[in-house]
Chain A
Amino acid sequence: MFKVLLMIALFFMSISLVISFMRTVKGPTMPDRIVALDAIGITLIGVIGILMILQETIAYAEVILVIGILAFIGTIALSKFIERGDIFDRD
């Protein structure tokens, strides 16, 4: 029963990934896409968490943390790029 629930949760999360992806492609503006990418990252964290429960392992705990950091860094980098056209400042 519990496994079925997890499966259902995974199913809906996949649908949410699809929807976020559609927003990434459609836009219409660049911030829309960046936010969608961020949302994909966070959804992935959820998916991986459920997969950990399903596979009865804690091997992916680091992955979850890394995705958390990377989604943040990626969003910052993209935002900075569309804000200034550059990622690293030069003095």
Chain B
Amino acid sequence: MSALHWVILSPFLFALIIPFLFKYVSKIHTGWFVWLLPTALFIYFMNWLPVISSGQVVETSVSWIPALGIEFTAYLDGLSMLFVLLITGIGSLVVLYSIFYLSKKERLGNFYVYLMLFMGAMLGVVLSDNLIVLYVFWEVTSMASALLISYWFHKDKSTKGAQKSMLITVAGGLAMLGGFVLLYQMTGTFSIRTIIENVDVVQASPLFVPAMLLVLLGAFTKSAQFPFHIWLPDAMEAPTPVSAYLHSATMVKAGIYLVARMTPVFGGSNVWFWTLSIVGLVTLLWGSISAVRQKDLKGILAFSTVSQLGLIMSLLGVGSAALTGGADDPIYSQAILVAVFHLFNHATFKGALFMAVGIIDHETGTRDIRKLGGLMTVMPITFTVSLIGLASMAGLPPFNGFLSKEKFFSAMLNVRNFEAFDVGSLGFLFPLIAWIASIFTFLYSLIMFFHTFRGKFEPSNYERKVHEAPIGMLISPIILVVLVIVFGLFPNLLSYSIIEPAKQAILPTVLPEGEQFVVDIKIWHGVNTELLMTLGVVLIASFLFYLMHRWMKLAIYNRERDPFNWFYDNALTGLTSGSQWITRLQMTGLLRDYFAYIFTFMLLLVGYTFWRFDAFAIDTANTSVIEPFMWILIPLLIGAIVTIPFLNHRITAVIVVGVIGFLLALLLIVFRAPDLALTKLLVETVTLVIFMLAFYHLPEMRKEKFTPRLNVANLLISIGVGVTMTLVALSSAALGNEAGFESISDYFLENAKELAGGYNVVNVILVDFRGLDTLLEVLVLAVAALGIVTLIKLRLKGGEDV
């Protein structure tokens, strides 16, 4: 166990002591203790930054399940570095914010335990080199996310949202596990690094595409890609620190991380390029259009997150072109750079925006943009923070969102020049969709800004007196927007410290050993297509916002809920009612139906086996002579058996059963089995008497009389069972003859006297050769007798226990 392992496990260990801190140190807000951990981890990882920036990696391994090739390998490279800094940095800010957001009356112990579980799992996801370990942490993030969404579990919407996110992300996670297992099938290892080294084996395998699609399914559900994005807006029922942390900055980027991590394995193929690009662009467009329709501030931010994640996803898809061999040309790998840069930017401004929205919610009691307005003068600091965040999200200079959007446009414009993947005439769609989506992004940013902070301030809309938030709540968003400005003005602070190593980690095989990608982010590129596109975005979106009072009345604007929820809701209720229907169909509660199923199944199974192996055979060798009187006795026996179903008098039926027993005893004598005959007679008589005893207790109403009903299905099944068993008996006799097996009974006949000192071979077998069976039969009788006594004597009343 190296330090890195302890770092991953430290949030879990810390989670163990949080309840005690909450319970016994109740004077201090528990968050202050929790805050120390992510801050310490952030400082720890910052210390590694120079090492990682110089292109080195850290790798340590601990055996977990060596027999299955599962090693807990912690692996820190540029991509992991980017993520751990986001997780610990924003984690620290979020904890700080939550200290002021959640009052001490809440169940803080639970909150911070869940949050630490999540943080540890997220660190595990981004630092694991082993796929199975990654999957384990992945599922813990799903679980912790569901716990955090349902933090206010007395609210119906919270639990619904948690259930939805759990179902969707866990379904994706399971698909991903399937993909990992396929990768293991191909390469024989779970280590991502080893898989990347053997990438040619993977790409030559027929399992390549299934594995890729399964892994992508996991990534798409986690990162809320179309059409699995529906859980994210419902996850907004969580406390705002959770939304800021999980549902904008970290967890929803786990899918992005996975895609980036797997790019060297799957990248360069057609399917990967097109799936990622199309899904990403559709998510981008759909998320930005849906965000415009939202009336709830967190709803807008949720769909905005969906759309921005789609943007990053499409960039990863486009950037995978670098693996096709066009490495020399920087236009191919450009998109990866933008993806990493925007990933970072999005985490900063979206975190700040969520926190600002949380402040507004906290101070005004509402998040509805139809009620809010005129907060600019009332909450100046929140206003400033939001303005910067929104401007960055919309892509205005001089903030970092502007830089990543310009780069995004140029990456999309480059797609037209791709020679690989047969982009051809479809290439113009990439920048076009990106441009349209950016217009909507700008539009919802405008809506959010003007409907919250401008307009008239109506004190009657709010339940409490509205004022600026306490300074503690404002620290975290201020730090984040300061980062937005700093990285907007000096983007090259990041270039070679974080972005280049991350890009190197995503595309490890593109460049020759020791070379670096060129990262050049500038604010002013001169007048070019990208700048004109940005101007177009600003103008058209402003124009659309100006006309808002016209299209506001459209039905499509007034319906908030995403239409894809319809599929989810119907699938869920359909699944429940469908399985209930199937259960009701077969679980009738009637014993006769279950017998019918059992016998039908037996018939089909044995019948199929007969047909499949052509097993039917009849052989009359080794059969004995039939005496004349047997020609009467056997029909009599058969007749007696066949009579029983037609009798409509119970006592007659019992007497006929007795007759059958006597006739069977007679048969045993004909076949020279005196002991059996004796036992048979005794048992038969006792059974007869017991039947009679049972009749005494039958209820009055149906006493004595019953009419057997004819049921064709039952008739067919019983005839089928009889015929089948007869055929089995005949065939096994014939096949036994054919195989020429000899009986082992000669041994008993010869040795009964000599070894056991008895003449009665049956009895010698029962008590000597095979005495153990007899012992257990005696036990069976004893248990039956005890059972009967218990049934008769033990009369418990309700509530009594044995």
Interface positions of A (Cβ within 8 A of B) = 7, 10-11, 13-15, 17-18, 21, 24-25, 27, 30, 33-34, 37, 40-41, 44, 47-48, 51, 55, 57, 59-60, 62-63, 66-67, 70, 73-74, 77-78, 81-82, 85-88
Q: Which of B652, B659, B666, B672 contacts A55 (CB 8 A)?
A: B672
Encode B598-637 as 1/0 by CB contact (under 8 A) with A: 0000000000000000000000000000011100110010
Chain B positions within 8 Å of A73 at CB level:
685
Interface positions of B (Cβ within 8 A of A) = 627-629, 632-633, 636, 639-640, 643, 647, 649, 651-652, 655-656, 658-659, 662-663, 665-666, 669-670, 672, 674, 677-678, 681-682, 685, 688-689, 692-693, 695-696
Chain A positions within 8 Å of B681 at CB level:
63, 66-67, 70
| Subset of 16 A-B contacts with CB under 8 Å | A7-B628, A18-B636, A21-B636, A21-B659, A25-B643, A25-B656, A27-B649, A27-B652, A37-B655, A40-B662, A47-B666, A60-B674, A62-B674, A63-B677, A77-B689, A86-B696
When A and B form their complex, which 4 residue pairs have the shortest distance between CB atoms, in order from nearest?
A14-B632, A10-B629, A59-B674, A70-B685
CA distance A77 to B692 in the complex (A): 8
Chain A positions within 8 Å of B670 at CB level:
51
Q: What secondary structure prevails in chain B residues at the interface with A?
A: helix
Given A63-B677, A66-B678, A48 and B696 touching (CB < 8 A)? Answer: no
Q: How far is the CB of B31 from chain A (nearest CB, A)?
A: 77
Chain A positions within 8 Å of B678 at CB level:
62-63, 66
CA distance A63 to B669 in the complex (A): 9
**In the bound complex, do residue B629 and residue A44 qualify as a contact, i.e. CB atoms below 8 Å apart?**
no
**In the bound complex, do residue A14 and residue B629 qualify as a contact, i.e. CB atoms below 8 Å apart?**
yes
Q: Which of A17, A25, A30, A74 contacts B685 (CB 8 A)?
A: A74
Q: How far is the CB of B690 from chain A (nearest CB, A)?
A: 10
Chain A positions within 8 Å of B647 at CB level:
25
CA distance A86 to B698 in the complex (A): 12
Chain B positions within 8 Å of A55 at CB level:
672
**In the bound complex, do residue B633 and residue A14 qualify as a contact, i.e. CB atoms below 8 Å apart?**
yes
CA distance A86 to B658 in the complex (A): 19
Chain B positions within 8 Å of A40 at CB level:
659, 662
Q: How far is the CB of A56 from chain B (nearest CB, A)?
A: 11
**In the bound complex, do residue B655 and residue A24 qualify as a contact, i.e. CB atoms below 8 Å apart?**
yes
**In the bound complex, do residue A24 and residue B651 qualify as a contact, i.e. CB atoms below 8 Å apart?**
no
**In the bound complex, do residue B656 and residue A24 qualify as a contact, i.e. CB atoms below 8 Å apart?**
yes
Chain B positions within 8 Å of A21 at CB level:
636, 639-640, 659
**In the bound complex, do residue B655 and residue A33 qualify as a contact, i.e. CB atoms below 8 Å apart?**
yes
Chain B positions within 8 Å of A27 at CB level:
649, 652
Q: How far is the CB of B588 from chain A (nearest CB, A)?
A: 34
CA distance A63 to B664 in the complex (A): 13
CA distance A10 to B670 in the complex (A): 12
Chain B positions within 8 Å of A47 at CB level:
666
Chain A positions within 8 Å of B652 at CB level:
24-25, 27, 33
CA distance A67 to B682 in the complex (A): 9
Question: CB-nearest residue of chain A relative to B647?
Answer: A25
Question: CB-nearest residue of chain B relative to A62?
Answer: B678
Question: CB-nearest residue of chain B relative to A61?
Answer: B674
**In the bound complex, do residue A11 and residue B669 qualify as a contact, i.e. CB atoms below 8 Å apart?**
no
**In the bound complex, do residue A18 and residue B669 qualify as a contact, i.e. CB atoms below 8 Å apart?**
no
**In the bound complex, do residue B627 and residue A15 qualify as a contact, i.e. CB atoms below 8 Å apart?**
no
Question: CB-nearest residue of chain B relative to A48?
Answer: B669
Chain A positions within 8 Å of B663 at CB level:
17
Of A25, A48, A62, chain B has the most CB atoms within 10 Å of the CB of: A25
CA distance A67 to B651 in the complex (A): 21
Chain A positions within 8 Å of B643 at CB level:
25
Q: How far is the CB of B676 from chain A (nearest CB, A)?
A: 10
Q: Which of B658, B669, B695 contacts A74 (CB 8 A)?
A: B658
Question: CB-nearest residue of chain B relative to A52?
Answer: B669
Chain B positions within 8 Å of A86 at CB level:
696
Given A63-B677, A85-B696, A44 and B662 touching (CB < 8 A)? Answer: yes
**In the bound complex, do residue B692 and residue A78 qualify as a contact, i.e. CB atoms below 8 Å apart?**
yes
**In the bound complex, do residue B692 and residue A37 qualify as a contact, i.e. CB atoms below 8 Å apart?**
no
